[in-house]
A and B are shown apart, each in its own frame.
Chain A
Amino acid sequence: QSVLTQPPSASGTPGQRVTISCSGSSSSIGSNTVNWYQLLPGTAPKLLIYSTDQRPSGVPDRFSGSKSGTSASLAISRLQSADEAEYYCAAWDDRLNGRWVFGGGTKLTVL
C-alpha cells in the first residue's frame, strides 16, 4: 500500500481537462512540495511537475500542479492521445530519517 493515495485510473476524451489527485499526510505533502512523474510504457519516468506547481523546460503548459493542505493535484488540459500514460506523485516524508514516498500511480486513458 502506497503512502500517497492516487486513484488507480482516470479517463477523458481529446480536448477535455482531467485532474488526478494525490492524498498524503502532514509529514509528506503537508510539509513538503510535490513532484509529478509521467511513465510511458518502456521508458524511464519523466519529471512533469516539480515543487508542486513548476514545469521543467519542455513540458507543455497544458500540465499544471497545485496543492492544498495534505493533498495535491495534477491537471491536464486540452487532453491529447499522447498523454495516455501512468502518472505518479511523489513527496519527501519527514518521518524517521526522512524518505521519499510515491503514490500508487494513476493510469490515464484517452478515450
Chain B
Amino acid sequence: EVQLVQSGAEEKKAGESLRISCKGSGYSFISYWITWVRHMPGKGLEWMGQIDPSDSYTNYSPSFQGHVTISAAKSISTAYLQWSSLMASDTAIYYCARHRSRNSLFQHWGQGTLVTVSS
C-alpha cells in the first residue's frame, strides 16, 4: 500500500527554524516526484514546489522561492520542507503529495502537518 506519512504538528516562534518530513513507503521512492502544498486557515491550497528524489532537482513556486527549501534523502525515502526563519504567516497545514512526473496528477497525499507560528 502506498503511504506518505508526515511528521507531527509543530509549534514554533517567529524567527525559529523548522524542518518537517514526508516519508514514502509501498513504492519506489525515487520513481515519483514529491510536491508540497500549503493550506492556510480559511484560504485555498497553494503549490509551494516539487522535488525529483532521484536527483534532488527542485522547482519552486515564485511565491515561495527563497523562503523555503525542499530536499530529499532517497536512502530513507523521505522528503523535507524546511524554513530557516519562520514567520507568523507560515501558520498553516502543509501537505506532501507524490506524482509520477513534474506535471502529472497528485494521487496520493500525506495526512498533513500543522505548523503554528506565534509572534
Listed in ascending order, the chain A residues whose CB lies under 8 Å from chain B are: 2, 32, 35, 37, 39, 44-47, 50-51, 56, 88, 90, 92, 96-105
Contact = CB atoms under 8 A, between A and B. Distances in A.
10 contacts: A32-B103, A44-B95, A45-B97, A50-B105, A90-B45, A98-B102, A99-B47, A102-B44, A102-B47, A105-B44
Is chain A's binding surface mostly helix, strand, loop or mixed?
A: strand
B105 A35 contact: yes
Given A32-B103, A97-B59, A99-B61, A45 B44 contact: no
B97 to A, nearest CB: 8
Contacts of B59: 97-99
A58 to B, nearest CB: 11
Interface of B: 35, 37, 39, 44-47, 50, 59, 61-62, 95, 97, 102-103, 105-107, 109-112
A59 B21 CA distance: 29
Given A98-B59, A98-B102, A100-B35, A44 B110 contact: yes
10 closest cross-chain pairs (CB), A and B = A92-B103, A100-B47, A105-B44, A44-B109, A104-B44, A50-B105, A102-B45, A35-B105, A47-B107, A88-B45
A103 B106 contact: no
Given A50-B105, A51-B105, A37 B45 contact: yes
A2 B107 CA distance: 22
Contacts of B44: 2, 88, 102-105
